[in-house]
Amino acid sequence: MDWINAIVQGTLLGGLYALFAAGLSLIFGVMRLVNIAHGDLIVLAAYLGLTLSTALGIHPLLALGLVVPIMALLGYALQRGILNHTLGDDILPPLLVTFGLSVILQNGLLEIYSADPQKLQAGAIETASLRLGELALGYLPLLMFAASVAIIAALQWMFYHTALGRAFRATSDRQDVAQLMGLNRAHVFGLAMALALAVTAVAGVFLGIRTSFDPSIGGGRLIFGFEAVIIGGLGNIWGTLAGGVILGIGQSLGAQINPGWQVLAGHLVFLAIIAIRPRGLFPRMDG
Amino acid sequence: MSQRVTRSSRLSQGAAVLGLLVLILLAAAPWWAGRADMRLMGEIFLYLSLATLWNLLAGYAGLVSVGQQAYVGLGGYALFALTILAGVPALWAIPLAGLLGALVAVPVAALIFRLRGAYFAIGTWVIAEVFRLGAAQVSALGGGSGTSLPADVVRAMASGRDAREALAYWLALGVAMAVIGLAFAILRSRLGLALMALRDNELAARSLGINIWRTKFIVYVATAGLTTLIGALIFVQKLRISPDAGFSVNDWTAFVIFIVVIGGIGTLEGPIIGTLVFFALRETMADMGSVYLIALGVVAIVVMLRAPAGIWGLIRARTGAELFPISHRVRGTTTKETADGKKA
């Protein structure tokens, strides 16, 4: 029963990892950019949620109504102001610039909020759970999982059924031709980053409700998101959800064997998958 | 007027003479420098070595790793394990650690070379995390909180504290010179030509018969081994290790990347200039804590956006200067000297 419980809890945790990964997957798909600061942006969103919910005295989930647009605006500004200038054939500039951003964000948060761990208080819902036989499913993890699936479904629908999605796919396929067809590449990339950081905002607030956080944990969240993307296969957003769930199950099974092995087990599952299927389980595009 | 192709120039010969004089002066430091200065200089040499190796990896072989802390930490832990658990003398443990690092790098390379470009970068970070979490499980070396080098191991290194500090200093200086010398020798060899060809155009390099996977593999394993050896030296100086200190992404990768980017990536001179700039900044701003790190991040971003070739790149673009003679120059043509930039 413990093992079944570990698998169920791991699956729910995987929803959060898929949310970490969705933003990464989206911007890689549209502009081939790997954002090293992604994890730190997740942590930034958690701190924004903390400041807004305590300053306004509102529930962290309500604060999302403000955190999401703020992060989206930040994403657009970041893309137009800095990241668009790094894009080209060479992978080094975007990598190093986002690495610099990561260091700036981490130390900026440290300066403002100190290194003390913080947590978002979500009230009674944090401990409430649904009992199914011997399994106890927390309402909060269930809600987060449902939100992750809904967000990923919405991204998928947006990508294939809207004008914006068509613009994303067109620039992803051929940037120069898309530009000739009247799409402003810089603006499209700005919108993609805005959307990615809107998703990141939700991921950050969920993270803050689920566990305590401090400015140094961004790198770890980036790695979880990245592992979910690679396990699922590049360019496949449902694959990313599957990747997140596999990673979550790997971690909770590892923790079941030995509490110290949780994160390590997740990494080993990832390494095993790239050893067997280097392109991930359900790839749609090449790296 | 006859034409001939040379590599050295009057500038590079002058630089070699000056470099030799500086080296003699530095080697004599135990007789003229205080203990604190020697520790600082030792740290500078070790960072210079790490930067030169990362530059070889990212600037020449195109392998942008953000996970070199895997090998620094591995070196530190290998030193502690060999001396504490196996009773090997510390001076023997250092080269053994380097050998171990190269051996470990072989399966690691086989695995993460499956990831391309930026995903390779994060893959190297995953490896470093695996090593860090693994080290935290080794209870014989203190688990998550780490351990210190026992006093008798330290005492056995040399007679007296002064002699030990001088030894650690000379080892750091010697390794820095060896690493720069090796990088210079590699870049002038066939392997170096292959590296520069694939840096400039991978497809063209492959069509000329260069085995890209093999070339990158050799560079990855060699830099991993040397980085591990440097890691062992770093923790000979520190005398204490923990998983978070050994496998710190900030200390062993972020700073090293900033050094190379600010100095000039893809040149041998760049890491030297970058290291001097980095330590000058650190010594003047260190007490500002995280503000200093924010400033460093901003400088690195501005350099990457405005002057991607770094400080040395700017100097070379103006003057064609090259302190390490790597590229070929044709002399005796109508233009006095054609410096062909970075393309050898």
Instruction: Indicate the domain borders of chain B.
Output: 9-326
Interface of A with B in 34-53 (CB under 8 A): 34, 36
Give the residue-averaged pLDDT of A280-285: 78
Domain boundaries in chain A? 2-121+137-276
pLDDT digits (tens, 9 = 90+) for B324-333: 777 777 766 5
DSSP codes joined into one string, B149-217: --HHHHHTTSSSHHHHHHHHHHHHHHHHHHHHHHHHHHHHSHHHHHHHHHHH-HHHHHHTT--HHHHHH
Strand order in the sheet with B337-338: B4-6, B329-331, B337-338
Task: Spell out which chain B residues touch chain A, with contact meaning CB-CB distance below 8 angstroms.
Answer: 58, 64, 66, 111-112, 114-119, 121-123, 125-126, 129-130, 133-134, 136-137, 249-250, 254, 257-258, 261, 265, 290-291, 293-294, 296-298, 300-301, 304-305, 308
- Closest to B91 measured CA to CA, from B180, B167, B166, B149: B167
Distance separating alpha carbons of residues A134 and B328, to the nearest angstrom: 75
The H-or-E segment that residue B26 falls in is helix B10-27
Of residues B165 and A52, more confidence is placed in A52
Give the Cα-Cα-Cα angle A62, A64, A65 (nearest 5 degrees): 80
Residue B318 identity: R
- Write down the ipTM of this complex: 0.88
Return the pLDDT at B338: 44
Residue B145 near residue B213, CB atoms below 8 Å = no
Return the pLDDT at B72: 96
Collapse the DSSP code of B340 into the 3-class scheme (helix H, G, I; strand E, B; otherwise coil) and give the result.
coil
Handedness of CA B135, B136, B142, B146 (dihedral sign): positive
User: How many Å is the Cα radius of gyration of chain B?
Assistant: 21
Q: Does A264 touch chain B (CB under 8 A)?
A: yes
Collapse the DSSP code of B309 into the 3-class scheme (helix H, G, I; strand E, B; otherwise coil) and give the result.
coil
According to DSSP, the residues that pair with B6 across neighbouring strands are: B329
Closest residue in chain A to residue B291, using alpha carbons only: A107
Distance separating alpha carbons of residues B272 and A256, to the nearest angstrom: 49
Closest residue in chain A to residue B115, using alpha carbons only: A278
Instruction: Look up residue A224 and give its two tokens.
Output: 């979880």
Kindly report the average pLDDT of chain A as a whole number.
90
Most confident residue range from A123-127, A169-173, A237-241: A237-241
Q: Does A110 touch chain B (CB under 8 A)?
A: yes
Collapse the DSSP code of B232 into the 3-class scheme (helix H, G, I; strand E, B; otherwise coil) and give the result.
helix
The H-or-E segment that residue B338 falls in is strand B337-338
Give the residue-averaged pLDDT of B125-152: 89
Of residues B160 and A221, more confidence is placed in A221
Return the pLDDT at A72: 96
Q: Tell me the percentage of chain B whose pLDDT exceeds 90.
A: 41
Residue B161 identity: R
The closest CB to that of B118, out of A82, A91, A107, belongs to A91
Instruction: Look up residue A32 and give its two tokens.
Output: 């081939």
- Closest to A161 measured CA to CA, from A153, A151, A172, A149: A153
pLDDT digits (tens, 9 = 90+) for A120-169: 888 877 788 888 777 888 888 899 999 999 999 999 999 899 998 888 88
Of residues B10 and A117, more confidence is placed in A117
Residue B340 has pLDDT above 60, yes or no: no
pLDDT digits (tens, 9 = 90+) for A74-104: 999 999 999 999 888 788 888 889 999 999 9
Interchain CB contacts (distance < 8 Å): A and B: 117
Return the pLDDT at B71: 96
Judged by average pLDDT, the poorest of A202-216, A240-254, B98-112, B286-300 is B286-300
Residue A222 near residue A272, CB atoms below 8 Å = no
pTM: 0.89
User: What would you measure as the largest C-alpha separation in chain A, in angstroms?
Assistant: 60
The closest CB to that of A99, out of B111, B137, B257, belongs to B257
Residues in contact with B98: Cβ distance below 8 Å, sequence separation at least 6, in sequence order: B75, B225, B226, B228, B229, B232
For A49, A270, A278, the CA distances from A232, given in Å and listed in that order, are 29, 10, 11
Return the pLDDT at B31: 86
Instruction: Say how many Å lie between the first and final Cα of chain B, rounded.
Output: 24
CATH class of residue range A2-121+137-276: mainly alpha
Per-residue burial over B190-207, b = 16 or more CB atoms within 10 Å of its CB, e = otherwise? ebbebbbbbbeeeeebee
pLDDT digits (tens, 9 = 90+) for A1-45: 788 888 999 999 999 999 999 999 898 888 888 899 999 999 999
Residue B335 has pLDDT above 80, yes or no: no
Give the residue-averaged pLDDT of B43-68: 92
CATH class of residue range B9-326: mainly alpha
Record: contact A267-B265, CB cut-off 8 A: no
pLDDT classification of B341: cutoffs 50, 70, 90: very low
Q: What is the 3-state secondary structure (H, E, C) of chain A?
A: CHHHHHHHHHHHHHHHHHHHHHHHHHHHHHHCCCCCCHHHHHHHHHHHHHHHHHHHCCCHHHHHHHHHHHHHHHHHHHHHHCHHHHCCCCCHHHHHHHHHHHHHHHHHHHHHHCCCCECCCCHHHHCCEEEECCEEEEHHHHHHHHHHHHHHHHHHHHHHHCHHHHHHHHHHHCHHHHHHCCCCHHHHHHHHHHHHHHHHHHHHHHHHHHCCECHHHHHHHHHHHHHHHHHHCCCCHHHHHHHHHHHHHHHHHHHHHCHHHHHHHHHHHHHHHHHHCCCCCCCCCCC
Give the residue-averaged pLDDT of B223-232: 96
Other CB atoms closer than 10 Å to residue B314's CB: what's the count?
14
The gap from C-alpha B151 to its chain's centroid, in whole angstroms, comes to: 29
pLDDT classification of B336: cutoffs 50, 70, 90: very low
Residue B308 has pLDDT above 60, yes or no: yes
Residues in contact with A195: Cβ distance below 8 Å, sequence separation at least 6, in sequence order: A26, A72, A75, A155, A158
Give the residue-averaged pLDDT of B45-70: 93
Give the residue-averaged pLDDT of B139-159: 84
Q: Does A86 touch chain B (CB under 8 A)?
A: yes
Kindly report the average pLDDT of chain B as a whole number.
87
Residue A12 near residue A245, CB atoms below 8 Å = no
Give the residue-averaged pLDDT of B184-204: 86
Return the pLDDT at B333: 59
Record: contact B294-A92, CB cut-off 8 A: no
For residue B63, the distance in angstroms to the closest alpha carbon of chain A comes to 10
Residue B218 has pLDDT above 50, yes or no: yes
DSSP codes joined into one string, B103-163: HHHHHHHHHHTTS-HHHHHHHHHHHHHHHHHHHHT-GGGTGGG-EE--HHHHHTTSSSHHH
Residue A11 near residue A248, CB atoms below 8 Å = yes
